[in-house]
């Protein structure tokens, strides 16, 4: 064993399979066929007693695994605000996979520590955040929300003379949770995980575009955690930060903004007005793997109260050696972790500010094109397409559901359904750098055909 790994055969084999996959991406089923899903049962076997040839491991995975993938890196996967990795980030991942860096400490990876610092500076600049803001590089926005809310909990209790790290939750003064009615499910999950309890949330209302209605926000004080969002997961709508944040800051509340995909509007000259005032918050969560199209496992928490973030997430043990360099584990909940800042750095370095602006703008323009085409084809457009989300429905819930099912079954494009104002809707997220105008037109034609068919049944 291991001897056979010394030559580069398995890597050549993996590369061959990867290139064949990539060459076929625009013609493959966007969602795997039933047969290919059925074939996944090949993996249902007891663990072999003896070892397997390394090249066979790669071949088996390729043979049965490849066809059971969704075409995320093609141009017609419009589900869940998922991006598709930009090739330069995949190449970076290939190279740095050979480095296998544990990104937790400076001593385990000086390069990761350095590029986290560089990404922190670049992101602060792109998003226009206060100079003291620090960033932590985590697995996604779920983890970024968790990290930010830990910091908020620390600070809001500290303000009331309570040290959560020492005194814990039992007997702690209450924190008021003031949440947007349309808050993302990951934020709700985080609130529950942190022990705030869903029954204790004070909800405020959202308008028909899913934006916070400021007048419905309860009177705030310095025990309040205010949860806002940049980019509603259905409509893409943005809360009016410039109106809400100054009032919340005056009251001493902690403002957290979930901007998983939407925060990137700030990087575009033509769209940045959507985020006006967002720099007045105390913490922000954003993904690399959605709008920025990095590979998965890339989320960022940013916090304008470094002491709160670092104290809330701190770890110490005799064997943990901190240097005077950046120590990544201080800014997130993980210890051993992927050096995900390397790909984030690569994508930003490759695109530059103009490239990011162009890419994000083109997601928006393709979403506009999609919405116009679908409206012409007879669909009712529900949202103002301010960013990359297109929300549509048909004249009846049954018709909507049947069109969605037929589009999904075609496997030419894929998107998901959702509920909006208690009515089933179709949700299209244009989030991949790879989407072209032809992809959009092909998808519109697919919807038009499905609509005609469903209507005539
Ligand atoms: C996707 C998303 C999340 C969760 O992010 P992950 O990267 O999937 O953990 C949170 N909030 C919003 C608005 C999202 O779109």
335-379 per-position pLDDT tens digit: 999 999 999 999 999 999 999 999 999 999 999 999 999 999 999
Q: Is 258's C-beta closer than 6 angstroms to any atom of ligand 1?
A: yes
Has residue 318 got a pLDDT over 80?
A: no
Ligand 1: distance of its center to the CA of 137 in Å?
Answer: 15
Q: How many CB atoms lie within 10 A of CB 90?
A: 18
**How far is 220 from 212, CA to CA, in rounded Å?**
15
Q: Is 260's C-beta closer than 6 angstroms to any atom of ligand 1?
A: yes
- Work out the pLDDT band at 251, boundaries 50, 70, 90: very high
Hey, CA dihedral for 292, 293, 294, 295, is it positive or negative?
positive
Nearest in space to 395 (alpha carbons), one of 423, 356, 422, 421 = 423
Q: Is 387's C-beta closer than 6 angstroms to any atom of ligand 1?
A: no
Tokens representing 276 are 């006006």
Ligand 1: distance of its center to the CA of 142 in Å?
Answer: 6
Q: CB–CB of 73/434 below 8 Å?
A: yes
- Work out the pLDDT band at 317, boundaries 50, 70, 90: low
**How far is 257 from 225, CA to CA, in rounded Å?**
11
Predicted local confidence at residue 2, as pLDDT? 83
Nearest in space to 140 (alpha carbons), one of 435, 310, 344 = 344
Give the bridge partners for 229, in sequence order.
258
Tokens representing 86 are 């930009």
Q: Is 233's C-beta closer than 6 angstroms to any atom of ligand 1?
A: yes
Has residue 319 got a pLDDT over 90?
A: no
pLDDT one-digit tens code per residue, 166-222: 999 999 999 999 999 889 999 999 999 999 999 999 999 999 999 999 999 999 999
Q: Is 287's C-beta closer than 6 angstroms to any atom of ligand 1?
A: yes
Domain 94-347 listed as CATH 3.40.640.10: yes
Ligand 1: distance of its center to the CA of 122 in Å?
Answer: 22
Closest residue by Cα to atom 12, ligand 1, is 260
pLDDT one-digit tens code per residue, 406-436: 999 999 999 999 999 999 999 999 999 999 9
Ligand 1: distance of its center to the CA of 260 in Å?
Answer: 5
Predicted local confidence at residue 323, as pLDDT? 84
């Amino acid at each position: 064993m291991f001897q056979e790994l010394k030559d580069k055969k398995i890597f050549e084999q993996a590369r061959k399979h990867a290139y064949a996959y990539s060459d076929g991406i625009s013609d493959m089923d966007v969602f795997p066929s039933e047969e290919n899903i059925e074939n996944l049962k090949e993996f249902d076997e007891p663990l072999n007693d003896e070892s397997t040839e390394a090249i066979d491991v790669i071949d088996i995975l390729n043979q049965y695994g490849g066809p059971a993938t969704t075409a995320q890196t093609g141009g017609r996967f419009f589900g869940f605000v998922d991006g598709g990795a930009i090739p330069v980030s995949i190449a970076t991942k290939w190279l740095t996979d050979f480095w296998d860096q544990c990104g937790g400490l400076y001593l385990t990876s000086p390069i990761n520590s350095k590029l986290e610092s560089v990404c922190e500076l670049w992101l602060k600049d792109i998003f226009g955040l206060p100079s003291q803001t620090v960033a932590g590089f985590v697995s996604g926005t779920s983890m970024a929300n968790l990290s930010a809310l830990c910091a908020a909990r620390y600070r809001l209790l500290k303000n009331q003379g309570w040290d959560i790290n020492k005194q814990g939750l039992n007997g702690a003064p209450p924190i008021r949770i003031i949440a947007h009615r349309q808050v993302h499910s990951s934020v709700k999950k985080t609130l529950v995980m942190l022990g705030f309890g869903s029954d204790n949330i004070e909800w405020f209302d959202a308008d028909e575009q899913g934006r916070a209605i400021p007048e419905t926000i309860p009177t705030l004080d310095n025990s309040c955690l205010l949860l806002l969002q940049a980019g509603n997961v259905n409509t893409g709508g943005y809360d009016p930060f410039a109106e809400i944040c100054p009032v919340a800051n005056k009251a001493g509340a902690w403002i957290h903004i979930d901007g998983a995909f939407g925060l990137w509007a700030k990087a575009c000259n033509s769209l940045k007005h959507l985020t006006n005032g967002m720099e007045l918050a105390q913490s922000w969560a954003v993904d690399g793997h959605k709008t920025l199209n990095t590979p998965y496992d890339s989320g960022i928490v940013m916090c304008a109260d470094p002491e709160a973030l670092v104290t809330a997430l701190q770890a110490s043990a005799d064997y943990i050696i901190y240097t005077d360099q950046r120590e990544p584990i201080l800014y997130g909940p993980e210890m051993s972790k992927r050096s995900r800042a390397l790909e984030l750095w690569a994508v930003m370095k490759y695109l530059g500010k103009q490239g990011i602006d162009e890419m994000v703008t083109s997601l928006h323009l393709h979403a506009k094109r999609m919405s116009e085409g679908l409206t012409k084809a007879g669909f009712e457009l529900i949202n103002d397409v301010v960013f990359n989300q297109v929300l549509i429905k048909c004249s009846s819930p049954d018709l909507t559901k049947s069109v969605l099912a037929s589009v999904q079954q075609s496997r030419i494009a894929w998107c998901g359904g959702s509920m909006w104002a208690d009515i089933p809707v179709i949700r299209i997220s244009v989030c991949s750098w790879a989407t072209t105008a032809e992809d959009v037109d092909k998808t519109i034609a697919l919807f038009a055909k499905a609509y005609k068919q469903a209507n005539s049944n």
